[in-house]
């Protein structure tokens, strides 16, 4: 998208001909909102795009509701093929709404993958999966790793191909919240950010542009090798402890978006994942400590 000016992008988004490629998926996006265009222009600067392609996987739109909330206490709504799967959000959250909407589209309908709410990154051909409930510091840790030599596959959705048992990449922007935003700004002053939104259900949120290497290599799949459950605990020293495989199995079964939809395949995927990965709990408070521990983890698998 580097060759596209903001004004050009805006025109393409207005007439609905812009299509963005993230991983193997092509999403046709339509919007009249200038802030959504600005956000896409910054966050997806390295991504490939197409103009009015014959085929796209998703057709989405962010727009003003067709009612009084167009003018009064303004809102934005997200539509996929003309259908709004969510309630509208306040107008200022439109750029973040598009990101969440795209995540939902993948989680709700892409059953070619086993899909779980977790971050995934690759190094030396092997993938670490970071599952975690919100607030565990998963995105903060994922960002630090992505900025220091790990290739970002995905911050929100880990996609496992049931046939090859490899992880696919989306290389989408990373969603950061509240204090994490300042922490990462300090950690990497050269990082590039989308607009900040205040007063969302999650507090203050923004998105970080994924590193260029992650985007250029987004079609490369890789083998999951480690599953690490991070937990941010202020003031603590780094502590890496093995985690029971059975417990990891249950977490994956309960937190995947399509475990039951995939049926027996879902059971087999989780079983293989837990078999082929070392499973850990990891408590930390300082990002530099965490990077050192992850260096150590990945060196164990080096040839």
Partner 1 sequence: MMHLKCSTGYRVAQRPETMTRNTGTIAGQNLINAIKFPERLPGTSLRDWDSILRLAKRANLIGRLAEGAHYRGVMDELPTQVRTHLESARVLTSHQRQAIAWETRHIGQALKSIGAPLILLKGAAYAIADLAAAHGRLFGDVDLLVPRACLNQAEAALMMHGWASGHADPYDERYYRRWMHELPPMAHRKRGTVIDVHHNILPLTARTLPSADLLLNASVPVPGTDFRVLSPSDMVIHSATHLFHEGELQNGLRDLFDLDALLNEFSERESDFWHELTDRAHTLGLAWPLHLALRYSRAILGTEVPPHVSASVSKAATPGRVSQRLLDGMYLRGLQPDHPLCSNYSTDVARAALYLRGHYLRMPVGLLVIHLGRKSIMRLFKNTSRSV
Q: Which residues bind partner 1 (CB under 8 A)?
A: 26, 54-57, 59, 67-69, 72, 81-83, 87-90, 109-112, 201, 260-263, 265
Specify the residue, 102 or 174, whose C-beta has the smaller distance to partner 1. 102
Q: CB of 134: closest distance to partner 1 in angstroms?
A: 18
Specify the residue, 75 or 143, whose C-beta has the smaller distance to partner 1. 75
Specify the residue, 263 or 300, whose C-beta has the smaller distance to partner 1. 263
Specify the residue, 87 or 186, whose C-beta has the smaller distance to partner 1. 87
- How many Å apart are CA 44 and CA 101, to the nearest integer? 16
Specify the residue, 11 or 265, whose C-beta has the smaller distance to partner 1. 265
Q: CB of 23: closest distance to partner 1 in angstroms?
A: 12
Q: CA–CA distance from 60 to each of 1, 157, 277 (Å)?
A: 19, 19, 36
Contact assessment for residue 84 and residue 78, using Cβ atoms and an 8 Å cutoff: yes
- How many Å apart are CA 5 and CA 40, to the nearest integer? 11
Q: CB of 271: closest distance to partner 1 in angstroms?
A: 18
Specify the residue, 79 or 239, whose C-beta has the smaller distance to partner 1. 79
Q: CB of 61: closest distance to partner 1 in angstroms?
A: 9
Q: Which of 152, 205, 197 is nearest to 178 (CA)?
A: 205
Reduced 3-state DSSP string for 45-59: CCCCEEECCCCCCEE
Q: CB of 132: closest distance to partner 1 in angstroms?
A: 25
Specify the residue, 81 or 186, whose C-beta has the smaller distance to partner 1. 81
Q: Which of 21, 24, 27, 16 is nearest to 47 (CA)?
A: 21
Q: CB of 129: closest distance to partner 1 in angstroms?
A: 22
Q: CB of 54: closest distance to partner 1 in angstroms?
A: 4
Contact assessment for residue 153 and residue 122, using Cβ atoms and an 8 Å cutoff: yes
């Amino acid at each position: 998208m580097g060759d596209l000016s903001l004004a050009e992008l805006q025109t393409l988004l207005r007439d609905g001909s812009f299509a963005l490629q993230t991983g193997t998926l092509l999403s046709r996006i339509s919007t009249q909102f200038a802030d959504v265009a600005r956000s896409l222009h910054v966050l997806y600067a390295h991504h490939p795009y197409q103009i009015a392609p014959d085929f796209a996987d998703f057709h989405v739109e962010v727009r003003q509701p067709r009612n009084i909330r167009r003018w009064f206490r303004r809102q934005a709504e997200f539509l996929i093929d003309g259908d709004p799967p969510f309630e509208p959000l306040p107008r200022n959250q439109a750029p973040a709404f598009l990101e969440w909407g795209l995540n939902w589209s993948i989680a709700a309908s892409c059953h070619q993958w086993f899909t779980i709410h977790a971050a995934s990154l690759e190094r030396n051909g092997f993938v670490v999966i970071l599952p975690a409930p919100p607030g565990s510091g998963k995105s903060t840790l994922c960002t630090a790793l992505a900025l220091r030599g790990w290739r970002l596959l995905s911050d929100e959705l880990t996609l496992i191909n049931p046939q090859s048992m490899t992880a696919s990449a989306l290389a989408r922007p990373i969603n950061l919240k509240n204090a994490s935003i300042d922490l990462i700004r300090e950690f990497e002053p050269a990082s590039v950010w989308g607009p900040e939104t205040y007063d969302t259900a999650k507090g203050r949120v923004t998105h970080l542009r994924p590193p260029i290497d992650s985007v250029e290599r987004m079609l490369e799949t890789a083998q999951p090798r480690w599953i690490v459950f991070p937990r941010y605990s202020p003031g603590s020293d780094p502590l890496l402890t093995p985690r029971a495989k059975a417990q990891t199995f249950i977490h994956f079964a309960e937190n995947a978006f399509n475990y039951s939809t995939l049926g027996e395949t879902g059971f087999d995927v989780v079983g293989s994942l837990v078999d082929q990965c070392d499973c850990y709990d990891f408590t930390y408070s300082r990002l530099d400590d965490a990077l050192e521990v992850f260096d150590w983890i990945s060196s164990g698998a080096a040839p």
